[in-house]
Amino acid sequence: MHSSIFCIKKSKMIDKVYEFWYNDCIYESAAECISLHRTKKGAEMAMEFHKEERRKEFEELLEDSIDEYQFGKFDDMCAWGVRERIIQE
C-alpha cells in the first residue's frame, strides 16, 4: 500500500507536499508547520497571507505603545519559509 495522498481532481498519486512553516522567535523557539499544500505557489501564498496578518497585529501593538522602539522592527526575530516534504509510509 502506498502512503501518498490520492488527489481525485487530478487522478494521480501525490508523494510530496509543500510545507509553510513559521517561527515566532528564532532565538528562543523552533519553527512550526502552519499548513501543507499541493503546490509551492499555494504554500507561498499562505505564507504571504500569514505574514501580512502578523504585520497588522504588530502595527496595532505600535499604535498603543508610548515608546515606538519598545517592540523593535516587525520581523527582527521571526522567520517564515516553504519547504518540500516527501510523504513516506
Question: Please, what sign has the CA dihedral across residues 65, 69, 71, 75?
Answer: positive
pLDDT at 88: 85
pLDDT at 13: 74
What value does the mean pLDDT of the chain take? 83
> Please, is 78 exposed, middle or buried when counting C-beta atoms within 10 Å of its C-beta (0-12, 13-18, 19+)?
middle
Considering the entire predicted model, what is its pTM?
A: 0.73
pLDDT at 52: 94
Helix ranges restricted to H, the chain = 40-63
pLDDT at 2: 47
In whole angstroms, what is the distance from residue 43 CA to residue 36 CA?
7
pLDDT tens digits, one per residue of 18-56: 999 999 999 999 999 999 999 999 999 999 999 999 999
pLDDT at 1: 42
Domain boundaries, the chain: 17-86
For residue 60, pLDDT over 80 is answered with yes
